[in-house]
Structure 1
Amino acid sequence: MADELDLLRTADPVPAGGPHYGDGPLDHTAERHLARLLHDTPRPRPRPRSRRLVWSLAAALAAAVTALAVLQGGPAGTPAVAAPRPLAVRAHSTPVPLADVAELAAAAARDGSPALRQGTHVQSWSLGMSDGRPPVTLPEERVVRWAADGTHTEVVVATDPARPGRPVLTDDGDRTRPVEDGHVLSRRTFPPMWGDAPPYGTPPHDPARLRTYLTELAGGGTRTLTTPELLDATRELLDNWTLGARETAALAALLAEAPGLRPAGRVTDRLGRTGQAYVLDAAPGGRRMLILDPATGTVLGLETTFTRDDPEYGVRAGDVMDYSAWMR
């Protein structure tokens, strides 16, 4: 409910009087592995399935709008949710090279603040697809926090920041239905989970060691990560950890060395934050856009758009395939 959403957003996960390591170890790996099977490995086109498919955050434009016109809720027949459009780079904005952002991130990390925290706060939009029905957008907000005893809690609510107070679509098994903004989809507490391997192990703040960490997160081996693999590993890292300044600087250094990431200019992300966009045009399965805070190197969001039409699933080139926005 809306009251629970307000409590979620105002909660202090690390109160001043709380125990040491009150923000301790985290994760929802089972959830991430499932999501990774469904959407973290981009494909040129969705594989036909008899059941609904979900790609992390996304929105098919025209087809989704058509579906939402049918699935209405709220006063005056207000659609339950609208499909987000691809982020647009501001005209005439000056692109900032990734190397410059990496330098600024390193400077911002000198005092070591803010600190690394295990846990995450992410807003996502999921593209729900099924045979014979147009795709629809399923927005969710997830907060994961850890306790000193190694347990962690995960709260997921249905909400769309672009449409506060409006009904939100959610998936309920084999059907899609509108729910109240802030409706709690799940609240779970997990037993203690410890380990040194990613994503449980603490991410290092040295670029070389962080590259090894992300390689293991992407499946291991001694190979050099491709840029799409680096972006996928970054997504999983941020779905488990809220990076501190030093880890952010190390990640920015790795991204600055990634081939193919083109500085595109300034954008306003889906939470209203200003960032710099970096585009990977030749990515498998879609065009990737990484959004960074240019002053600190913090990853604000990651978007993938389709690069070609797929009439079977009602999507067109340029439609958003997925989007994640991370918060502290």
Structure 2
Amino acid sequence: MQYRKLGKTGFSISEISLGTWQVGGKWGDPFSHENADQILNAAVDSGINFIDTADVYGDGESEKAVGRLVRNRSERIYVATKCGRQLQPHVNEAYTPEAMRRFVEASLRNMQLETLDLIQLHCPPTEVYYRPEVFEVFDRLKEEGKIQNLGVSVEKVEEGLKALEFPNVTTIQLIFNMFRERPSELLFKEAQRRDVGLIVRVPLASGLLTGKFSPNTQFSADDHRNFNRNGEAFDKGETFSGVDYNTGLEAVEELKRVFPDQPNLAPVALRWVLMFDEVSCVIPGASKPEQLTSNLHAAELPPLSAEQMQQVKAIYDKKIRPLVHQIW
């Protein structure tokens, strides 16, 4: 495992880390602590030392599993969680300093920890990024020892650029993959200039970039890849990176021709993300230990060639850019 610095947090974190949206089981299934414990411990055994969770994952059960892991292991494990998505309705006005404090204290109770290494605003409405009082409360929480660092999880490049204006923002979590390339144009450069860490989520475009899906693939009724393709439940960009499913399948077939010796595209897609030095880590999820093993294979791959990088970009420019580039 290779390690990179997480911006001005100073943390040295595994470049392949773990996101826990589905760590308790497949999307839509009841949370399984037994399955979560297997995946989390296997991750640490493999050298992963950065775990990303959120208070809404499994309605707090994911945080509980992550906290149990940290308390039962001797290794230094950095924990990032997120807050804000519990607000109902999830609107700008609901983001108050009091609510943010309440969420931080609830996450500490869930994980039975004394401090959070990193707390992130969980894809708040764009207007929140123009309200200094929301960001200032985290300075108070840091003074009290309840958090160590503040970050943001964003949907749009615009939000990331605005977040960079707040000096207490140490990390930005964003979607970046072969089907979502816009962040590398300006946001990466600005984040690097301000020493802000970049945490990449949805690196496999909700599984599309594994190359294992087909027009006949069926997703369960409770799976967001079934019910959120047009943004019915939350931002459309979180599902298949906002790419039309059939268009994505066509692009994947072209990618397979670029990497004919790879039976599973997932490690290549993760290695592509890590070709960008500004990225601190990538956080693919896993609903079973075998998926974790597949993701970790990316660390063993050699760097992609300049020709391969150009071929990936050409597929993006032809198939994907006209549909999504300007949106996020």
TM normalised by structure 2 equals 0.26
Give the TM-score taking structure 1 as reference length.
Answer: 0.26
Question: Which one has a larger percent strand, Structure 1 or Structure 2?
Answer: 1
Q: Which has the higher contact order (CA 8 A, sep 6+)?
A: 1
Relative to total residues, which structure has the larger helix share, 1 or 2?
A: 2
